Amino acid sequence: MKRFLLPLILAASLLGGVALTSTPAPNGDMATFAPAPFAPAGLAYASPSASIANPIGGVTLEEFGGVANDSSVDNTPALNAAITYIASHRNETASRLYLPAVGTYWLKSKPGLMQGVTIIGAGMTKTGIRFDFDATGGALEWAGDSAGGLEDIALTVNDGRHISNAVWVHSKSDGTLSSFQHFYRVWISYTGSGSYGETFLVQDLYNGWGGRDIECRELYVFGGTQDAVWLRSVKNFRWFGGGTFRGDYNGSMYIYGGGPSFAQQSINVLMMTSVDGNLSVNYSSDVLYMGVVANSYGASNSSSVKFVLTKN
């Protein structure tokens, strides 16, 4: 195990300078789900003309009754209907579900399993899903799926609500694990007066792998009263760009192998992202981490954890 203490300027150059920035307040309904102080650097806010005009190779939520920018509408029935349709028409839809509008789609009850569906918005500073319900488990959940994920969208929870996770990826009871999920250009803001668990959670439930061959690009995760990101028993997990911020329990990011009572360590984890908080690694091996840790870094029961950069 090696720990390199390098100047912040070097770490920033390796990461493309990802950082929290102050940004003017967004226009329109964007203000309801993307707090301006958390805007990723270099990203512009949406204009009404920036919606997806003609989605290719998929269906839109509006085709199933979805309505954006109306907080009185529960879009969960439309989402469930779209997921069911896509599950039986994969060749026609390529498992893509578009939320094309600029603004917010409200969900007022927990939707069913995503069943390999990829939800795609018009951009993470343009299209958002707002969770307005209480639930255990994930607000959006992939269980034993192959493929699926999120692209170009923001997720947030209504103030005062209690939801365990914004995104939950896990294995099934028959041992089927989730694999090949992707999360590209996604912004999760899980803050407010409600109580939450891990904001972004990938985990094994039945003493096997929780997920494998999962990739994140420009995934920004804010908040969580436990960890912002928790990875348990993952294999071949890659995260490029983006950042994780403010985990209140173990730290901003916790990479875990489940301990000696569980079947699998976390292995082959490549992280090229920033962490504004604490990074903890436990029961893991072959973790290559190139990022910025604002407060602290710790590893135990692990091997081949390399290139951890710190500000201090």
| Per-residue pLDDT tens digits for 43-82 | 333 443 456 655 667 899 999 999 999 999 999 999 999 9
Q: How confident is the model at residue 27 (pLDDT cuts 50, 70, 90)?
A: very low
Neighbours of 247 (CB within 10 A): 28
Higher pLDDT, residue 209 or 65: 65
pLDDT value at residue 50: 52
pLDDT value at residue 297: 77
Higher pLDDT, residue 236 or 105: 105
| Per-residue pLDDT tens digits for 211-231 | 778 899 999 888 767 788 888
Burial 296-312 (b: 16+ CB within 10 A, else e): ebebeebeebebbbbee
Q: How confident is the model at residue 289 (pLDDT cuts 50, 70, 90)?
A: confident
Q: How confident is the model at residue 132 (pLDDT cuts 50, 70, 90)?
A: very high
- Is the pLDDT confidence value at 26 over 60? no
Residues in the chain: 312
Q: Alpha-carbon distance 150 to 145, whole Å?
A: 14
pLDDT value at residue 172: 77
Q: Alpha-carbon distance 166 to 96, whole Å?
A: 20
Q: Alpha-carbon distance 35 to 33, whole Å?
A: 6
Tokens, residue 49: 């003309």
- Is the pLDDT confidence value at 28 over 50? no
Type and span of the H or E element at 9? helix 8-15
- Is the pLDDT confidence value at 259 over 60? no
- The answer to which of 66-70, 84-88, 232-236 has the lowest mean pLDDT is 232-236
Tokens, residue 112: 């069913």
> To the nearest 10°, the Cα dihedral for 109, 115, 120, 124?
60
Computed over every residue of the chain, the mean pLDDT equals 75
**Residue 106: beta bridge partners?**
130
Identify the sign of the CA torsion 4, 253, 171, 118: negative
- The answer to which of 124-128, 214-218, 283-287 has the lowest mean pLDDT is 283-287
49: which residues sit within 8 A by CB, 6+ positions away? none
